[in-house]
Amino acid sequence: MGRQKPSMRDIARAANVSVSAVSLVARNKPGVSEETRNRVLSIMAEMGYSPSVKGNGHTGTVGLLIEKGSMPVIVDIFYGDIIRGLQSEAQRLGYQVALHMFDRAQENLDSLRDSLLGSVQGLIVANDGDISHDMVVQLQSFELPMVLIESYVPGKELHCVIGDNFAAGYTAMQHLIDLGHRDIAVLRGPTKYSSLVDRFHGAMSALAEARLSVPAEMMPAPVSGHPQKGYLQMREILQAGLKPTAVFAVSDKTAFGAMNAIREAGLRIPQDISVVGIDDVSESAYTHPPLTTVHIPRQEMGILAMRKLHRLMEGEREIPTKTLVYSRLVERQSTSRFSDKS
């Protein structure tokens, strides 16, 4: 029996480098030092390794799966930044990214499986909530390397890259509490989005630690749509005659809508009502006033997800984990210290 050919993982182990580094050397791509490149090339020669690269010069194609009904995710600022990070890292590693649309109303998983297995070597799922947890579990049965971005399925072992949304919600709410606010409105998001649910739970945890509560009328039901939902939620609160001194919004887009409703009611931000959001999308720096928010490093999420998928496609055995990308408060002019004017 002939000796088994060494794998990229074997080369990485012998050279004491990552599989990603070996892949870059094998395809003569930048991103590793000259010393590392020479060491890897030497070990490749010693072990008789010959890289398997397709005729187009790429190690393969990765699929980006989008549910057809959620196509706006492609132009959404939040996910647009994630996709840019994913695309740039895929290009650096030598992969092509192919968009795959799935129409729940017309297609079945068998047709999706046939489409994916014939064209991609790995799969990224990036629109949390629009592809159901049940569908994600079924996608896992395709036995394709798969990474979820900004999504996870409770109780299931899956490779995920997510923002630390619980901490983001906690940080945003704690900022309002530290400023002395006690009458705080909470603008939630749809429960199908695990990221928004985690942000809400983080905010409620900060309130509980401060022994504060939010009456139901100050926490209206979420309304779908961007940014209309924040506007409608805030308008409902103000039209009921309620007088919050601050607003926690589960996303920047929700905050934008809330700010419109506040101004429409003749109130000032932050003199009458402080507003905090989460995401730090580019527009948040240009609202009137600029929005205090919690920064989620979106491009980094896309980069890390592509690196994780690359390792899986190269044969590395990783225990499925949730990789957390940490957030930070960006304090601007939409929040101020509570002042009792009565």
Contact between residue 160 and residue 171 where contact means Cβ atoms under 8 Å apart:
no
pLDDT of the residue at 141: 81
**60-163+298-326 belongs to which CATH class?**
alpha beta
CA–CA gap between residue 150 and residue 214 (Å, rounded): 27
- Condensed to tens digits (0 to 9), the pLDDT of residues 272-291 reads 999 999 999 999 999 999 99
Length of the chain: 342
Band of the pLDDT at 52, cuts 50, 70, 90?
Answer: low
At 58 the pLDDT is 44
- Range with top average pLDDT, 93-97, 124-128, 219-223, 230-234: 230-234
Identify the pLDDT of residue 156.
86
Q: Which range among 53-57, 160-164, 194-198 shows the weakest confidence by mean pLDDT?
A: 53-57
Instruction: Give dist(CA 180, CA 202) in Å, integer.
Output: 18
Q: Which residue has the tokens 């720096």?
A: 285
Greater model confidence, 39 or 175: 175
In this predicted model, what pLDDT tens digit does every residue of 217-254 receive, in sequence order? 999 998 766 557 899 999 999 999 999 999 999 999 99
Band of residue 57 on the pLDDT scale cut at 50, 70, 90: very low
E-assigned strand segments in the chain: 60-67, 95-102, 122-125, 146-149, 160-163, 184-187, 246-249, 274-276, 293-295, 322-325, 328-330
- For residue 101 the two structure tokens come to 């649309």
Q: What share of the chain is helix, strand, coil (3-state, %, to 5)?
A: 45, 15, 40
Q: What is the pLDDT of residue 46?
A: 85
Contact predicate 73/126, CB 8 Å? yes
> 29 falls in which pLDDT band (50, 70, 90)?
confident
Comparing 4-13, 50-59, 325-334, the range with the smallest average pLDDT is 50-59
pLDDT value of residue 50? 67
**Which pLDDT score is estimated for 329?**
98
pLDDT of residue 116: 79
The pLDDT tens digits for 257-268 are: 999 999 999 999
pLDDT at site 252: 95
What's the mean per-residue pLDDT of the chain? Answer: 86
**CA distance linking residue 52 with residue 5, whole number of Å:** 11
CATH 2.60.40.420 fits 165-296, yes or no: no
Domains 60-163+298-326 and 165-296 alike in fold:
yes
Split at pLDDT 50, 70, 90, the class of 54 is very low
Please, what is the angle between helix 19-26 and helix 34-47, to 10°? 80
| Domain ranges, ordered by start, for the chain | 8-47, 60-163+298-326, 165-296
> CA–CA separation, 194 vs 294, rounded Å?
17
- Please determine, for residue 144, whether its predicted confidence score (pLDDT) is greater than 90: no
- The pLDDT-based confidence of 79 (bands split at 50, 70, 90) is confident
